[in-house]
Structures are given as C-alpha cells and as structure tokens.
Chains A and B, each alone.
Chain A
Amino acid sequence: MLAMVKERLCKEPLFCARHTGSIFGRLADMNAENRMAYWRANLRLVALCLTIWFICSYGFGLLLVEQLNQFRIGGFQLGFWFAQQGSIYIFVALIFFYAWRMNRIDRQFDVHED
C-alpha cells in the first residue's frame, strides 16, 4: 500500500521536480499542473460515488424495483427494501467513503489542511 502511494507521488510533477533541482522557475506551471491533477482525481472520485448513488436509488429502488422484488431478504421484497431502507444506508456509507478517500487524496497532493 505504502509503495503504491510512493509510486503515485513520484508520478506527480511537483514531487518529481524535487529531484531536478531547478524548480523555482517552473513553480507556477507545476503548481497549476498539480492543481489540475488533484482536481481530476477529485472528479473521478465524485463520478464513482455518484454512479453508485444513482444505481442504488434510481436503479434498484425505482427502475428495477419489480425485477428485484422477485428476490427476498427476510420478510422484505428486495426492490422494496432498497427503496425504503437499503438506498439510505448506502447514501450514508458513500459520504463517509468520500470523506475518507478525499482526505487521502488531499495528502497525496499535499493540499491537506494542517
């Protein structure tokens, strides 16, 4: 896991620049590049989370509800359960997942708050 982070860091322009020695002239550019990379990582994570958000609520709870209702968990029909219970649990988990992942991305790109 740690090795992966290190490898990832070395791919980021800002960190690689450390090894080049002549960073100050290009600082502004690199900052901009790092910023872009950070923003892209954020957007990818948001896209992933919103896809799950959509599938679990609109997909399982609304559009596919009849197909899912043929399966059961306990005394619930599965589609009904997603609409009235499951989707809400997934929403909660998604926000915590996003917060946790974003904190890691912040550190990775060195934009975390102290």
Chain B
Amino acid sequence: MGDQGAALSLQALTYLVVGLSFALYIGIAFWSRALNTGYFYIAGRGVSPLANGMATAADWMSAASFISIAGLIAFLGYDGSVYLMGWTGGYVLLALLLAPYLRKFGKFTVPEFIGERYYSKTARIVAVICLIFISFTYVAGQMRGVGIVFSRFLEVDVTIGLLIGMGVVFVYAVLGGMKGITYTQVAQYCVLIFAYTVPAIFIAIQLTGNPIPQLAFGSEVLGTGTALLDKLDDIVTSLGFTQYTSGTKSRIDVFCITLALMVGTAGLPHVIVRFFTVPKVRDARLSAGYALLFIAILYTTAPAVGSMARYNLINTMQPGEVGAVDGSLAVEEQPEWMHTWQQTGLLKFEDKNGDGRIQYYNDRNEEFAAKAAVYGWKGNELSVDRDIMVLANPEIAGLPNWVIALVAAGGIAAALSTAAGLLLVISAAVSHDLIKGVFVPAISEKQELLAGRVAAAFAIVIAGYLGFDPPGWVAQVVAFAFGLAAASLFPAILMGIFFKRINKQGAIAGMLTGLIFTYGYIEFFKGLFLKWAGSPWGENVAEQWLFGISPEGIGVIGMSLNFAVAITVSHFTAPPPEHIQHMVENLRVPREMDESHV
C-alpha cells in the first residue's frame, strides 16, 4: 500500500480521487431523475430529515466555507468569530421562525410564498429580483472556487477546470432537478466533511497529541507545557501582530456584522427551499437541527485548523529567536510547499533587505516596525493569501499525498454542491415564478419542466461566464448578498407569518426600502455597479460610517427600516383580505383542527 502510494504521483492520485467523486455524482443523478415539476422543484417532498440535513449542509457550505473560513480565522483570530457565529446562528432563526411555516405553506418557491401571502404579483416579482441577484453573486464565487482548485491540483487551465465543473453540474442539476441535487449533495457532504476533518485530525495529533481538533486547540503543544493558544498569542505578538485571542473591531460593528450574517443566512432562498423538500412540518424542524449539526462539524473544526495553521506558518518562517541573525527562515531552506504555492501567485516573497532570509512580521505596527529596523529588517517580506491556508495545510504539515488529493476533491464538492443549489432556485424563480406565475399562467406542466431545465442550463452558462471572468467586485458583493437577503427577503417572510396585519402595500414598501437603502450604502462606500459614475463616493473608514457600522453590517439597519416601513404603511392602509388572514392562521398550525378530532 505504502509502495503503491509512493508510485502514484500526487497529480495522478488527485485525478483518480476527483474522477471517482464525479462518477459518483453523475451516477446518483441518473438514478434520481426528475420526472415532473414536483420532483424538479422540491424532490417530490419525500426527503428524510436526516438526508435533507446533510444536503442542506452541503448546499450551504460553499467553496468559501471550505477554502476560506479557516484562513480568515487564522489571520483574524478572535475577530474571525463573527463569521463562525454569524454563519451558524442563522440556522436557529431559520428553524424557529421560518422553516416549519414555509413547509406548511407547501408550495415550490420563496417568491411564490411572498406573492401569495401579499396577494400581489408585484411583490412576487420584487422577491424574484432579490433572489436572482443574491444567487448569481454566490454562484460566481463557487465557479471561481472550482477553477482555483482545478488549476492548483490538477494543473489544468482555469478555463478547462471551469468547463469540466459546469459540465458536471449541468448533468445533475438539469437532469435531476431538486431530487438529483439532493442526493448528490448528500454524497458531496460526506466527501467534503471527510476531506476537511482528516487533515485537521492529523495536524492536531502532530501538534498536541490530541486527535480531536476541537479539543486540540485548547491543549498544550507537545513538548512545551504551554497551551497552544497562549503560545500563539506569544509568538504573534513577538512579531508585532495583534494578539490572537483578542479583537480590534468596534463592538457595534461586530454586533451588526454578526447579526447581518445570521439574518442573511436565514433569508437565503437556496437554503430556505431545502426545507420544502421534507414530508412534514415536524420534519422541517428536526431537519434544521441535523443541518446545523452537520455544519457545526466543519465550523467548530475551522477555528482549530485556523489556529494550528497560523502556528505552523509562523514556526516555519521564524524557526529561531526574533531579531537574531539566523532567526528567520533562510531562502534556500524554503520547504517544498512554498515553491508550489509561489507558482500560483497566492504566496509571494521578496528579500527586501537582501540578507538571504525571509522576514515575516507586521510592518504596519509602528512600534514593532521601529524595533525591526534596528534588526536590519526592511519591511515584511512574505505575503500569504488567506485562501491557501486550508489547501496548503496538508502540505505544510507534511501529510501523505492521498490526504492532499482528498482536500482537492472536498473543495470541488463544496463548490459544486452550492452552485447546484443556487442554480436550481434561479431556474425555479424563472420557470415557476416568472413564466408560470406571472407571464404565461396557461403553460402545461411538461412545458414548465422544460422551461425549468432550459433556465437551469442558461444559468449555468452565465455562472460559468462570471466565474471565468469575474467582475472585480465578486468578493465585495458577497457582503452585499447577505445584506440584501437580511434587508429584503427575511423581514417579508417573517412578517408574513408572525404579523397578520401586514398587507401588500406595507410588504412591497418595506422590501424596496430595505433593498434600496442597503444597496445605496454599499454602493456609497464600496462601489458596485456605478463605478462609471465615480462610486465609491465615501471613504470606507470607520469615522465616515453611519453609527460606526461597516457596509458588511449595514443589512441590520436595512432590515430594521424594512420592518418599520412595512408596519407603518400597513397601519395606514386597508388590512389584508379575509382569506389571507385565514391562510396565515393555517400556516401556524401543522394540522387543521377539525370536527373529526373533537
């Protein structure tokens, strides 16, 4: 076994593992073809809560979760907690406030709910616009993720990588619809979680002797008698970085970012729609629990990976005493992984002071920079892209090749599963909400199914194009997508269930206010679509922000405005018709109380 492993090159092994995973996904797609619209949109409502939990986890955890989050935490330390809490806490809102009621509603899409609850095609169209924007933003990022993994691990051109990824998604999303996507996502969850935890366990054992990463990063580093996090605090501060376990962001901003991420998560259409696929209301509740459990396995491992990766990185760069002549890593002693990652451009170094060694420190910390100047250092010489921390981690820790191949397959699984879920809600919004719901209500079921497939195919092509040639703003728009979901869809759905008195006028005014305010604020400080008109107009610094809230957290204010406007407008206009109030009452109970039960 060991000999065979050595005989297979890393590249061949990666092809093998990734190829096998693709074969598995396509096999599942053939097995679970969708034959009618019910299967295409919501898998015939026959998905078990456990399977739906896994599928939701894969749907939600994107290339960003898999590749980026541990790296974010590695470099942000405590400040990175907003992403951990923000992207998990939203499920509590989803499970308690939305999922069971939307399942009771029992239709196919999120805009459909908004359209019926607010008895308005306009409301439905506004919801479709929000949905399409949010989903395309996301999908562009996923396709890019597929491209990066392909180009690094399979050493093919990013474009070819993208085309292969698009082809695979095309087969199972267009053919299988929601049913195909559900069961491939279950498989993809297994691949990605295995790929994420195996290297984490190896590294945890290497560093601390404790195999459970969640406990390991609270354990002592082997042979030192000091806890990992304390040691990490020591070494990062000795190089002028901020202490790992404490933060630098302002309270109100951290508070708003966390809340915007949570509410945004609960308002994401491709996540919500997963809860339409289970048989019963109580399954929707339970399924949300499973979903978060499966997500938590990755999200509690990520901070462990982050801290251990940061520790390993700094130990590699600074093997000796800080400031000693031979303290920093010598250029010719660079480990192999530094060479490979330099080729991708994600890792760069430049020997600024020409001493043949690499100095890695925080040159933006003035106090420390002064000290560094005494050592003869002329600025930080290494820049590491946060995104490589997970991908390079197995190499940094010197793990066997099959682990590295597995990580590649895991990254692709994470990207494909999310992309497929997003493409499906886009196609459903087009075929079911726009074509069937608004423009051509007379369309037959067969034609609608065909329209859904064509829309999915088109969406894949657009997504591929966005991933191939990402507009400069893709990374920035992620914050926008969350803010938009938090400020538009979430309040409209929540009020639709919990406030009977909210009417059509209120809901539309509220959604538009939340949308326009949130978009305007982000455009003002970050610049999105109006760059030709000179945006961003404001300097993106804390002193300029409204109440000190960054564009990432502004969705919270947009959401509050949405609530306030909707309630005020509804108060001054006619209440919703009787049958709508009756519908809301029915949403609130899992089963009707009827005479036979008295």
Within the complex, what minimum Cβ distance (angstroms) separates B301 from chain A?
Answer: 10
* A111 touching B92, Cβ below 8 Å: no
Find chain B residues with CB under 8 A from A87 CB.
84-85, 88-89
* A92 touching B245, Cβ below 8 Å: no
Chain B residues touching A, range: 35 or more
* B95 touching A99, Cβ below 8 Å: yes
A65 vs B281: C-alpha distance when bound (angstroms):
37
Residue of B nearest to A87 (CB): B85
Q: A57-B85, A96-B289, A103-B282 are in contact. Are A80 and B593 (CB under 8 A)?
A: no
* A113 touching B84, Cβ below 8 Å: no
A89 vs B84: C-alpha distance when bound (angstroms):
11
* A27 touching B595, Cβ below 8 Å: yes
Residue of A nearest to B303 (CB): A84
Interface residue from B97, B255, B288, B585 paired with A62 (Cβ < 8 Å): B255
Within the complex, what minimum Cβ distance (angstroms) separates A47 from chain B?
Answer: 10
B436 within 8 A of A: no
B293 within 8 A of A: yes
Q: A80-B78, A89-B296, A95-B91 are in contact. Are A75 and B285 (CB under 8 A)?
A: no
Mask: chain B, 212-238; 1 = CB below 8 Å from A; 0 = not: 001101111000000111100000000
Find residues 41-81 in chain A having any chain B CB closer than 8 Å to their own CB: 42, 46, 49-50, 53, 57-58, 61-63, 65-66, 69, 73-77, 80-81
* A92 touching B292, Cβ below 8 Å: yes
A49 vs B91: C-alpha distance when bound (angstroms):
12
Within the complex, what minimum Cβ distance (angstroms) separates B376 from chain A?
Answer: 35
* A75 touching B218, Cβ below 8 Å: yes
Mask: chain B, 243-269; 1 = CB below 8 Å from A; 0 = not: 001110001001100100000000000
A76 vs B214: C-alpha distance when bound (angstroms):
11
Find chain B residues with CB under 8 A from A38 CB.
588-589
Interface residue from B251, B300, B589 paired with A89 (Cβ < 8 Å): B300
* A35 touching B296, Cβ below 8 Å: no
Residue of B nearest to A77 (CB): B245
B325 within 8 A of A: no
Please indicate which of the listed interface residues A65, A77, A99 has the most CB atoms of chain B within 10 Å of its own CB.
Answer: A99
Q: A31-B593, A95-B91 are in contact. Are A49 and B96 (CB under 8 A)?
A: yes
* B296 touching A113, Cβ below 8 Å: no
* A92 touching B296, Cβ below 8 Å: yes
Find chain B residues with CB under 8 A from A34 CB.
593
Within the complex, what minimum Cβ distance (angstroms) separates A28 from chain B?
Answer: 10
- From DSSP, what is the main secondary structure of chain A's interface residues? helix
Q: A35-B588, A58-B255, A110-B593 are in contact. Are A99 and B89 (CB under 8 A)?
A: no
Interface residue from B81, B300, B592, B598 paired with A23 (Cβ < 8 Å): B598
* A88 touching B255, Cβ below 8 Å: no
Find residues 579-598 in chain B having any chain A CB closer than 8 Å to their own CB: 585, 588-593, 595, 597-598
Residue of A nearest to B245 (CB): A80
* B593 touching A102, Cβ below 8 Å: no
Q: A83-B81, A92-B292 are in contact. Are A49 and B92 (CB under 8 A)?
A: yes
Find chain B residues with CB under 8 A from A94 CB.
92
Find chain A residues with CB under 8 A from B585 CB.
35
Find residues 527-543 in chain B having any chain A CB closer than 8 Å to their own CB: none
B280 within 8 A of A: yes
Interface residue from B97, B229, B255 paired with A77 (Cβ < 8 Å): B229
Q: A83-B81, A92-B289, A103-B282 are in contact. Are A113 and B229 (CB under 8 A)?
A: no
Find chain A residues with CB under 8 A from B254 CB.
62
Chain A residues with CB under 8 Å of chain B are 14, 17-18, 23-24, 27, 31, 34-35, 38-39, 42, 46, 49-50, 53, 57-58, 61-63, 65-66, 69, 73-77, 80-81, 83-85, 87-89, 91-92, 94-96, 98-99, 102-103, 106, 110-114
Q: List 20 additional contacts besides A35-B588, A50-B92, A80-B245; criterion CB under 8 Å.
A: A34-B593, A38-B588, A49-B92, A53-B92, A57-B85, A62-B254, A73-B218, A74-B227, A76-B218, A77-B245, A85-B300, A87-B88, A87-B89, A88-B300, A89-B300, A92-B293, A99-B288, A102-B285, A111-B592, A113-B590
Chain B residues with CB under 8 Å of chain A are 73, 78, 80-81, 84-85, 88-89, 91-92, 95-97, 100, 214-215, 217-220, 227-230, 245-247, 251, 254-255, 258, 280-282, 285-286, 288-289, 292-293, 296, 299-300, 303, 585, 588-593, 595, 597-598
- A sample of 10 cross-chain residue pairs with beta-carbon separation below 8 angstroms, ordered by A number, consists of A14-B598, A35-B593, A62-B255, A65-B78, A81-B218, A84-B78, A87-B89, A88-B88, A102-B100, A113-B590
For the complex of A and B, 4 pairs with smallest distance between CB atoms: A75-B227, A83-B81, A99-B285, A95-B289
